[in-house]
Homo-oligomer: A and B are copies of this chain.
Amino acid sequence: MDKLHLDQHISRRYNEELEQLRNDMLAMGRLARDQLAGSLAAVLDGDRARGLELDATDDRIDELERSIDDEAQGILVRRQPAASDLRLIIAVIKTITDFERMGDEAQKMARMAVRRTDAGRGALPQAEGLRQLGVRVQGMVDDTLASLAGLDARRALAVCRIDAEIDADYKALIQAGLPNLAEDPANALDLVWAARALERIGDHACNICEYLIYLLGGEDVRHTPLDEVAAAARKAEDRADR
């Protein structure tokens, strides 16, 4: 965690607590990523059993959010951190909220897979565009996890750049599906809802990356044009290299 320039702690135990908090957050993120991959596959393949299983697994993500929240608040009370430690803990508290909401979106897709097979519709037809959107969003989530694990501001910035493209892809996908909406509304609407879930997951990935850039650079980049975010990311990298 050198890049974080955490305050020097006399207590080794305190360092371990912060490291544990970060690891638990990453484990939660990996679970959200797996939920996304599985739920998308369940919708595309019409896999009811997988959908049911992933619907149930969302509880684990919810439990992790609660326990990591408690863990973070416990450190705040016991250690009374300032400066970069405090920023790290606040960033974790915000990040897990977005991971949890990623899980909620994945759960919607898992439930859709179950509902579709129950209604005898099975695999989602004409879903190539959705599959491609899913591949891109999964890539964003993987890059988010790698950015968090490696404290990599540049990679985090790239995630937010992709998010702008995802939003455009999403709108194009909906517009391309228009003819089918009139002909085959049930399938076309499911396509819209699934695409919407993916697009929101992309938004959450970008939110998390913005918290990370702020954490590394000490600058709030949430409402800043992307070129200024890039400058902040470079600055964060320079600090890390020193």
Q: Which residues of A contact B (CB under 8 A)?
A: 59, 62-63, 65-66, 69, 73, 76-77, 80, 82-83, 86-87, 90, 93-94, 97, 100, 174-175, 178-179, 181-182, 185, 189, 192, 196, 220, 222-223
Contact = CB atoms under 8 A, between A and B. Distances in A.
A220 B73 CA distance: 13
Contacts of A93: 90, 93-94
Contacts of A196: 196
Contacts of A189: 174-175
A73 B59 contact: no
B94 A86 contact: no
A185 B69 CA distance: 45
B175 A178 contact: no
19 contacts: A59-B223, A62-B222, A62-B223, A63-B223, A66-B220, A66-B222, A73-B87, A76-B86, A77-B86, A80-B80, A90-B93, A93-B93, A93-B94, A97-B97, A100-B222, A178-B181, A178-B182, A179-B182, A196-B196
Contact of A182 (B63, B69, B181): B181
Contacts of A223: 59, 62-63, 65-66
Contacts of A185: 175, 178
A80 B90 CA distance: 14
